[in-house]
Amino acid sequence: MEIAHLNQLIELEDNYWWHVAKRSWATELLKSYVAPPSQIVEGGIGAAGNLVRWRDMGYNVTGLDFLEESVQHASSLGLSSVYRHDLHEKWPVQPASAHAIVLLDVLEHLKYPVLALRNAAETLTDQGKIIFTVPAYPILYSDWDERLGHYRRYTSETIRQHATEAGLRIEKLSHWNSFTLPVAFILRLMRKMFPSRSGTEFPRVSHLTNRMLIRLASWERSLADRIPVPMGLSLVGVLSK
């Protein structure tokens, strides 16, 4: 992750619809599978807003990130168990101690995601869960993904394959962010055909639009509690041993 992108995350993640919606997805899944004060490990903490939220809910939280600046920022927020670490390496967490591991838009940044998933599995209790999100549709891979440091975008089949190779099974898998897919599909294909020199800034939206998108994401999440969402810009799921 670029430092400029981290600074933008720090500025936006408490209120910007994308971060709010993704954190809400992960939080609802956490509450469904594990209750406070369960031990949670987040790999790829970014601006650490998720860890703060879960700590305040009563969870015991640990964070790992390759970027030293992320770790320093997390420490400045009062988070003590945060460490600079490459997820490809054996995790600095007691084996079979984590009730849940959260990987939100992380696997696409890893050259060897199966290795990271195996390391994650070693830290899980027998009933532990891995909650994840990844960007969907390889056809949409563009300079935007390259600037973000993505190795890939995912299909359902790819995530199933990675889970199987890591000795894990899928308990839940759904698309999310279906409501922005048509516009995003056009914009990403345009960027693919006409690469941009611009950075990785999140598109700014009005306060009203931001609130509307948060509400749409909430409705979509409610739908996904009953049936998997068949299409969307990202995939969200739960893995277990």
pLDDT tier for residue 2 given thresholds of 50, 70 and 90: low
What is the third-level CATH fold of 3-236? Rossmann fold (3.40.50)
Lowest mean pLDDT among 99-103, 167-171, 192-196, 236-240: 192-196
Q: Where are the domains of the chain?
A: 3-236
Q: Out of 7-16, 85-94, 150-159, which region has the weakest mean confidence (pLDDT)?
A: 7-16
C-alpha span between 38 and 26 (Å, rounded):
15
Cis bond upstream, residue 37 (ω within 30):
yes
- With 0-12 CB in 10 A as exposed, 13-18 as middle and 19+ as buried, what is 26? buried
Beta-carbon contacts of residue 160 (< 8 Å; ≥ 6 apart):
170, 173
Mean pLDDT to the nearest integer, 84-109: 97
Q: How far apart are CA 220 and CA 223, in angstroms?
A: 5
Per-residue model confidence as pLDDT tens digits over 6-48: 888 888 899 999 999 999 999 999 999 999 999 999 999 999 9
Q: Which residue has the higher pLDDT, 39 or 3?
A: 39
Q: How far is CA 96 from CA 154, 161, 204, in A?
A: 28, 23, 42
Q: Which residue has the higher pLDDT, 149 or 59?
A: 59
Mean pLDDT of the region 194-204: 65
